[in-house]
Amino acid sequence: MLKTRGYATTGPRAKLGPFNFERREPGEHDVLIEILYCGVCHSDIHQARNEWGNSAYPMVPGHEIVGRVKRVGPAVTRFKEGDVAGIGCFVDSCRVCDNCKDGEEQYCENHTVATYNGTERDEKTPTYGGYSSQIVVDENYTLKVSPDLPLAEVAPLLCAGITTYSPLRHFNAGAGQRVGVVGLGGLGHMGVKLAASMGAEVTVFSTSKAKEEDAGKLGAHNFVVTREARNLAPLAAKFDFILDTVSAQHDLNIYLNLLRRDATMVLVGLPDKPAELQAFSLLANRRRLAGSSIGGIRETQEMLDYCAEKGITSDVEVIPIDRIEEAYERTVKGDVRYRFVIDMETL
């Protein structure tokens, strides 16, 4: 077994702190990765604090992982020592169900193995995430990362990037489309960059007036402060697609009303409390409300390659690991521009 250092929490109200544990020796198809950077996703906070009610402790969060390959198993063909590699939100799945065969492993019918707060396929061994010195993952669930981009800025692509890229592609956002992004945080700012890069006219809906200038720099064409309902009225039925990235309970109906006929709003944000839905908001204009969860391995690789080609990365604030609690507090307040990333050398 491989002695591994990490940062863990032991309960919903505990603070994160140093935690030593063991990872398996790399098997035939495994890659051992020394972790260089790990992004701080709001899902880390929801789960560290048991806001979804499914948390297991001790928990080592982190699923936006970039690192360097240290060792590979004898049957590994896609990676060699020294390569830059990425790990996202899951590290295995059943591989045989229809969804796995379609490359949509995040919807595995049997068991998508979450990178942390989950169990391996044996349903027993807990998985520990990226707030740690190293990780061992099957090469089929490991992503190739271009060494040409700043790696701290690439880490958030592994969750925030794919979670916004996948629905934009699935619902054909692009040139000639009006796309709305609700919430300008980690996911939201990637949604803006990606939608703009695909040619869409992008409008940010934000509670934070102070983010207006940034939104423009990220590629947004319009910015709407949502605290005043009158700002939304003139935009009724104007949008082809809306991506809702908000992490807390909020009114969905005011955004549904902005969709034109047959247009779709996709929820990617995962508030702990349910939303109230007015049937009228959907019936008018035959609107659709959908959800989307991260993306499969094939699409995640496609997204990484797309970002490398277009020079798209995340706007990050790199922190030492002992500032993780402060980073959580600031993220919850919406005070992050636009992703905290842990420099794992500080572990």
Residues binding ligand NAP (CB under 6 A)? 41-43, 46, 159-160, 163, 183-188, 206-208, 211, 245-248, 250, 268-270, 292-294, 331, 334, 336
CB of 108 to Zn ion, least distance (A): 3
DSSP H or E segment with residue 166: helix 160-170
Least distance CB 97 / ligand NAP (angstroms): 19
Find out whether 73 and 138 touch, Cβ atoms under 8 Å: no
What residue ranges in 42-177 does DSSP mark as E strands?
A: 65-72, 84-87, 90-92, 113-114, 134-138, 143-144
Q: Which two tokens stand for residue 143?
A: 């992503």
User: Could you tell me which stretch among 47-55, 109-117, 118-126, 268-276 binds Zn ion (CB under 5 A)?
Assistant: 109-117
Q: Which is nearer to ligand NAP, 76 or 252 (CB)?
A: 252
What tokens appear for 46 in the block?
A: 């929801």
Rounded Cα gap, residues 45 and 37, in angstroms: 18
Residue 303 in contact with Zn ion, rule: CB under 5 A = no
100 binds, among Zn ion, ligand NAP, none (CB under 5 to 8 A by kind): Zn ion
**At closest approach, how far in Å is the CB of 268 from Zn ion?**
10
- Report if residue 136 touches Zn ion, rule: CB under 5 A: no
Least gap, CB of 74 to Zn ion (angstroms):
26
**Residue for token pair 């707030």:** 131
How far is residue 22's CA from residue 10's CA, in Å, rounded to a whole number? 17
Alpha-carbon span 287 to 306, nearest angstrom: 30
Tell me the number of residues near Zn ion by CB under 5 A: 9
Q: How far is the CB of 166 from ligand NAP (least distance, A)?
A: 8
Name the segment binding Zn ion (CB under 5 A); options: 14-22, 43-51, 74-82, 331-339. Answer: 43-51
CB of 170 to ligand NAP, least distance (A): 12
Residue position matching structure tokens 């948390």: 55
Structure tokens at 67: 């690192």
Among 60, 69, 87, 159, binds Zn ion (CB under 5 A): 159
Q: Which stretch binds Zn ion (CB under 5 A): 101-109, 143-151, 247-255, 271-279?
A: 101-109
Q: How far is CA 165 from the centre of its chain?
A: 10
Our CB check for ligand NAP shows the closer of 106 and 134 to be: 106
- Determine which residue in the list 35, 59, 65, 100 makes contact with Zn ion, applying CB under 5 A: 100
Residue 25 or residue 325: which is nearer to ligand NAP going by CB?
Answer: 325
Of the candidates 103, 85, 83, the one whose C-alpha atom is nearest the C-alpha of residue 93 is 103
Q: How many CA atoms lie within 13 A of 24 on its CB side?
A: 15
Q: Which does 94 bind (CB under 5 to 8 A by kind): ligand NAP, Zn ion, none?
A: Zn ion
Give the C-alpha separation, 302 to 305, whole Å. 5
